[in-house]
Amino acid sequence: MAGSSDFDLFRTSEEQDMLRDAIRSLAEAKIAPFAAEVDEQARFPQEAREALEANDLHAVHVPERYDGAGADALSTVIVIEEVARVCASSSLIPAVNKLGSLPVQLSGSEELKTRYLGALARREGMFSYCLSEPDAGSDAAGMKTRAVRDGDYWVLNGVKRWITNAGVSDFYTVMAVTDPDKRSKGISAFVVEKDDEGLSFGAPEKKLGIKGSPTREVYFDNVRIPADRIIGEEGTGFATAMKTLDHTRVTIAAQAIGIAQGALDYAKGYVQERKQFGKAVAEFQGVQFMLADMAMKLEAARQLTYAAAAKSERISGGGKEEDLTFFGAAAKCYASDVAMEITTDAVQLLGGYGYTRDYPVERMMRDAKITQIYEGTNQVQRIVMARNLPS
């Protein structure tokens, strides 16, 4: 049966189960103790970065030939999921390192791959992804940032908005218009470095959630970069950006299911300990039904995400998966909707305590919301799915 065969392709291996155990232990010991403080102070989770980099878990997707761990897409999902289970802000370190560097991996020259994927793997800097602009969010092809050729250089001018980990990352994949008459086919991709003259950052956004991951505007004021920092051929940047999102929407799904798992775990433990009317709250049928629904939807989201990860891996390995666009959008959309529902229910299960910052579920609820918005709102995901229905 096709269904059984497909399931076998994304079932976790013994090595992946061992990876999950290792990253969960690391996350609980080195990341979880700082999660509330990171949120409260809206500060970058430096402890998480150091722990992940020390264990080569900050960018596991980078191939071995560029000094990376060479992890497959499902293993990358597991890393992000387990970090997000304790701290969503910290999970954006491996997730955005993949988002920012994947255009180089997909379309860059061998020289660019060696230079920048190698630098990322060797912990020489983090990567960010610059696509959205003040007037070009869902309509990314409407961007206005320009790149003009000047001899052996490109000169960039413009503004990017909602850039995750901006100011912390050392490398930025930037989409810019090189031919304004061609709309999406006139957009090219470039690597810009943090210390390039003319690059600067706005103040951190004051956000509802993921407060430990800085989100800033990035300004390009006559930023002059060598011509060999273009990613792929001129005019292919938008296509590269969309291919990248096909893969990385799976990582947002992973973040969502990690947040949801953390909320479910905490709520389950709480209702087993909390007593009302002389018995544990977990013994009430209404509560049991809530927990059952939460677990059921979470597992469905996880399986859809793992299936999408398997398709992502087959494409990365040179295979052909025409329905990755659908599955990536479906995983991101469903997992994030489920995460918002599960975290909200977790707050409900804790009652008044769930509404206070003394308990982690309100943070998880706030963190979950962004997964329905970034890398394409869930309304956009439904448009993407409708246009790419699998046959």
Residues annotated as catalytic are 375
Cβ atoms within 10 Å of 65's Cβ, excluding its own:
12
Structure tokens at 359: 């308990």
Is-contact 176 147, C-beta < 8 A? yes
Cα separation, 302 vs 81, whole angstroms: 10
Cα separation, 27 vs 44, whole angstroms: 16
Longest dimension (CA), the chain: 79
Q: Report the half-sphere exposure of 377 (CA within 13 A, side-chain side).
A: 7
Pairing, β 199-201 against β 215-226: antiparallel
Cα separation, 242 vs 172, whole angstroms: 17
Cα separation, 323 vs 315, whole angstroms: 11
Q: Which residues does 217 contact at the CB level (< 8 Å), separation at least 6?
A: 134, 159, 160, 161, 163, 166, 201, 202
DSSP codes, 110-138: HHHIIIIIHHHHTTS--EEEE--BTTBSS
- Work out the burial of residue 234: count CB atoms within 10 Å of its CB; fewer than 13 is exposed, 13-18 middle, 19 or more buried: middle
Chain centroid to Cα 273, Å, comes to: 34
Structure tokens at 275: 């007593």
Q: Which residues does 263 contact at the CB level (< 8 Å), separation at least 6?
A: 339, 342, 343, 346, 360, 361, 364, 365, 368
Gyration radius (Cα) of the chain, Å: 21
